[in-house]
Chain A
């Protein structure tokens, strides 16, 4: 809940009505963002149950309050090198609407960085990087407080599209 003052402050800022909140996190050297509306919760990394014949970036299944939820490794998904999980490793649980019902999936990221208000209108097409793989999962880039943030194409990354 926001206080009255904070709200007033925000309204003072320009173009605040159009901005949306994004959760930003780090994968390797880069910062990524996803709409916070898609995020259900953040969990610490916990051991998963491996699934036979799974894709390489699929870690396995965990129990989230009785539901069986698959976890993927976003680093591996976008083609970055393996990283040993530490106590800072977090799992973002996403809720994706699919055919009228919500599917829950988790994704392991290196670390959370911020919750940022970004303007969708400021998103620019991804610069042509040589690492084509990353571009594949990028909807575009946006500049925020002097940093470049990649807007992640979540549906593609989670194979939910």
Chain B
């Protein structure tokens, strides 16, 4: 049987991981003092769907575990158990447990009993701790499959008809008998208690108040219609009225979520029918006493199993329709992207051929080619879009992380995220997640001060970490900001000197001093902590970001906070490039790095101590790197006067310098190919592309060139 099912495992695991995420997000969003029943329901449904799937596939640990979770959730949902932070902690812990179990189930293993016990123990303990209401007598799915005695199908169907939807509230018609107040019961107190369950709309009917001469002050004449706009278990309402159940007429009617008229009618019919059949039905107004009696009757199995089924099922079947998405193997998408890449190359090749003079006159051909150009671009963009995912795929983990860390550190930290829907290439998301985790962790651990420090600094006790994502001209910008203590450039400089990372006499600007954090072997905290880093962090973060073709900038204001800004290309597959010529070779400079290009005048050109050539541009001296020399172009004149070529001013990590080339060619969108597939990485080169004529052109890595240049300078200095 498992052989037959195994091909569905992939889908099961994907869906289960999604459900686990839903559970986690649900608990993180929950406000323990004001629980929204719909939130609990969402979590419940997610847990239930994992339970169902895992039981089907025979992952008994997962099934058993989710079953216990479900019981606990059910109690919370029914109001039999309050919710507090500790319970949420235990449940969040169980999310980790679920992940671990799913992971081992994926590799066809099971957690060993100890591990499993460690995860399920706290849940069981919670369940047992409740001495009041017994855990709902649900039967686990595994057992239910073989022995469905727990619930008779008939009951569940009826329940399903009546309870197809969870009530979003209750309408309570409360008509005290005349003598009620004389027996010491105050109707207003009851209504106040009711209001504690959730927001209430109360209408009073005073039509029965008699003429003044017949009025008895001790009699109650007024009746109320109370609309409780929040789900609460029926029992908790009945409890409020339990003292007066013989002294009033009470009707409690569930208010269902807005449903279309026919459905509502149908459910009413069903309700009526089940009443006729003499079965207890919560949807019909019945005297409170009777309902209670029946609820507690042992003959009636708890309605929860049936409820679970009915609630989970419609959701599950409607979910695919809502999201309108399909799962596609990434390899298929990638091969599609590759083919489109080829098409783009062929298209630019045709374009080049059409520039032939013989063809210039053929207007229809030219028009057709223009159309082809537009269509290929549109196709390319569309295909690239398939790989784009909202960055929330990466951001989702942070609320939990910040919450856990700040509790661990006894700090009060709020995480404010924005731009979660910003779309970015899947690969970028995968590769940026670890660096971001590191940055956020750093902000929580090092950035935000302790409560005492914050109080002493006159700041609000709760710190804030901001995580933002947004688009900016072909890039995605991700910012990690905190309102913590900030960094002191002088302290950083001093420390770098102490560690011998810079020379004793180095004079650094503030920006340069902040940049020191990215040096290997630099840790801003004197003592390493469990949480973040022993100084192996920031340089790795920077390397990862650069490997993605991005850059990272650190800004910090002492006492005010720190902000990391990561700039990444939207996709790793295409980019805008400026073609430049060095002798007869063509190279691509990424357009994002280019500030401007110019042909220098003689009086702009300088040489510092006969070594570093510079040009003076608007009062600023920019070092110039001769690309011909850096790339060892054969036959090129390494002494060519700068005035006879073009200087392309580029920026890398806030530093600007010039690249000296012979000529500027066209600007075009290029498909990035890696060299690593068949060759090896080349210093100063980030990849290659295929030009319109089918030839390969190398894409220059501006940051790498800057380093090459630095090394060359140092070698020169050493030699000198």
Contacts and interface: CB of A to CB of B under 8 A. Distances in A.
Interface of A: 47-54, 60-63, 65-70, 103-105
Contacts of B685: 51-52
B698 A67 contact: no
A45 to B, nearest CB: 14
Contact of B696 (A49, A54, A103, A105): A49
Given A63-B690, A68-B673, A49 B698 contact: yes
B668 interface: no
B342 A65 contact: yes
Contacts of A105: 678
A34 B679 CA distance: 21
19 contacts: A47-B695, A48-B696, A49-B585, A49-B688, A49-B698, A50-B634, A52-B684, A53-B682, A53-B684, A61-B679, A61-B698, A63-B694, A66-B342, A66-B345, A68-B673, A68-B678, A68-B688, A103-B678, A105-B678
A47 B696 CA distance: 10
A108 to B, nearest CB: 16
Contacts of B683: 53
Listed from nearest, the 5 A-B pairs whose CB atoms lie closest are: A52-B631, A49-B696, A70-B679, A61-B696, A66-B342
B338 interface: yes
Given A50-B634, A66-B345, A103 B677 contact: yes
Given A61-B688, A66-B342, A68-B696, A52 B630 contact: yes
A69 B673 CA distance: 11
Given A66-B338, A66-B341, A68-B679, A53 B698 contact: no
A63 B696 contact: yes
A159 to B, nearest CB: 9
Nearest to A104: B678
Nearest to A96: B678
Contacts of B270: none
Given A53-B683, A68-B675, 10 more contacts: A47-B695, A49-B585, A49-B696, A50-B585, A51-B679, A51-B682, A54-B682, A60-B696, A63-B696, A66-B338
B379 to A, nearest CB: 16
A50 B636 CA distance: 14
A60 B695 CA distance: 11
Contacts of B633: 52
B27 to A, nearest CB: 41
Interface of B: 338, 341-342, 345, 585, 630-634, 673-675, 677-679, 682-685, 688, 690, 694-698
Given A47-B695, A61-B688, A63-B690, A53 B675 contact: no
Contacts of B690: 63, 66, 68
Contacts of A68: 673-675, 677-679, 688, 690, 696
Nearest to A62: B696
A52 B678 contact: no
A105 B677 CA distance: 10
A54 B682 CA distance: 8
B285 to A, nearest CB: 69
Which of B630, B631, B695, B696 has the largest count of A CB atoms less than 10 A from its CB? B696
Q: Is the interface of A mostly helix, strand, loop or mixed?
A: strand
A77 to B, nearest CB: 15
B164 to A, nearest CB: 52
Nearest to A69: B678
A52 B342 contact: no
Contact of A67 (B585, B677, B682): B677
Contacts of A52: 630-633, 682, 684-685, 698
A105 B679 CA distance: 8
Nearest to A66: B342
Contacts of B684: 52-53
Nearest to B586: A49
A128 to B, nearest CB: 34
A36 B398 CA distance: 54
Contacts of A66: 338, 341-342, 345, 673, 690
A67 B345 CA distance: 12
A105 B675 CA distance: 12
Contacts of B695: 47, 49, 63
A54 B673 CA distance: 18
Nearest to A103: B678
Nearest to A64: B678
Given A63-B694, A66-B342, A68-B688, A53 B677 contact: no
B189 to A, nearest CB: 75
B661 to A, nearest CB: 14
A118 B674 CA distance: 38
Residue with the highest number of chain B CB atoms closer than 10 Å, among A48, A53, A61, A70: A61
Contacts of A50: 585, 634
Contacts of A67: 673, 677-678
A48 B546 CA distance: 28
A60 to B, nearest CB: 8
A80 B659 CA distance: 38
A62 B696 CA distance: 6
A51 B698 CA distance: 8
A150 B633 CA distance: 36
A116 B341 CA distance: 39
Contacts of A103: 677-678
A68 B674 CA distance: 8
A67 B683 CA distance: 20
Contacts of B678: 67-70, 103-105
Nearest to B687: A68
Contacts of A49: 585, 688, 695-698
A70 B675 CA distance: 9
A63 B678 CA distance: 11
Nearest to A101: B677
Contacts of A70: 678-679
A122 B583 CA distance: 52
B216 to A, nearest CB: 93
Nearest to A58: B679
A48 B696 CA distance: 8
Contacts of A54: 682
Contacts of B631: 52
B512 to A, nearest CB: 29
A142 to B, nearest CB: 30
Counting chain B CB atoms within 10 Å of each CB, the highest count among A51, A60, A65, A105 belongs to: A51
A52 B582 CA distance: 12
Contacts of B694: 63
Nearest to A70: B679
A28 B673 CA distance: 35
A58 to B, nearest CB: 9
Contacts of B338: 66
Contacts of B585: 49-50
Q: Which residue of A54, A63, A69, A104 has the most chain B CB atoms within 10 A of its CB atom?
A: A63
